[in-house]
Amino acid sequence: KGKKTDEGMMRFNDVIYALPALPFLIILAVTISNSIFLIVGFLMIFSWVGVAKVSRSMALQIKTRQYVEASKIMGQKDSKIIFKHIIPQLLPYTFASIAISVPAAITTEAGISFLGLGDPTFPTWGQILHDANTFGAAARGLWWWIVPPGLMIAITGLAFVFIGNALDTIINPRLKR
């Protein structure tokens, strides 16, 4: 069941995965719009592919477990098996993956804004760094325009990595020490 749908979705996933996100994001910002919401939406389009690939592989593994096979033999509907046995096992992984991928999105947006391609009307750490660079903050010794945004990008990224690692430890008891 669903082999053609699965195959089609995985080929679509492969196409999105093969596209370089940053050059497309730069082209988007230069040609269409540099709205922060468009940039975030574009990052979301490109960030789901890795999670989808791993989630599919995990779902295929879970599908072969004995309790799932027993549910099939007992006559449970596929939808009930999916919602009762497969999705509860996938959700924690998905949340951990999202938490770990947030720093990449933050640094990508900061990089786009630092290059001057971000939304100038929306204050972001990258926009602050761009303004500091434009007005020569480093040359004039105005470190407070450079250090705090850089630190906040690093601290926020690190916080999300810690959240992702904590979720991963909760999800994977074998990782507990």
**Secondary structure letter of residue 85 according to DSSP:** I
pLDDT, residue 93, reads 81
Does residue 174 have a pLDDT over 80?
no
What's the average model confidence in pLDDT over 44-65? 87
Closest by Cα among 87, 85, 102, 92 to 56: 87
Does residue 175 have a pLDDT over 80?
no
Amino acid, single-letter form, for residue 50? G
H or E stretch covering 61? helix 36-63
pLDDT, residue 143, reads 92
The answer to whether residues 16 and 46 touch, using CB atoms and an 8 Å cutoff, is: yes
Per CATH, the architecture of 3-175 is what? Orthogonal Bundle (1.10)
The answer to whether residues 158 and 166 touch, using CB atoms and an 8 Å cutoff, is: no
What's the average model confidence in pLDDT over 146-150? 94
Extract the tokens encoding 44: 């979301």
- What does pTM read for this prediction? 0.73
What's the average model confidence in pLDDT over 122-144? 92
Identify the top-confidence range among 33-37, 121-125, 148-152. Answer: 148-152
141: left (phi over 0), alpha (psi -120 to 50) or beta: left
The ranges assigned to domains in the chain are: 3-175
> The tokens 């096992």 sit on which residue?
89
Closest by Cα among 32, 22, 39 to 118: 39
The more confidently predicted of residues 92 and 146 is 146
**Per-residue confidence at 95, pLDDT binned at 50, 70, 90?**
confident
Extract the tokens encoding 124: 């972001």
Amino acid, single-letter form, for residue 67? Y
The more confidently predicted of residues 31 and 100 is 31
Query: 10 Å Cβ neighbour count for 52?
Result: 17
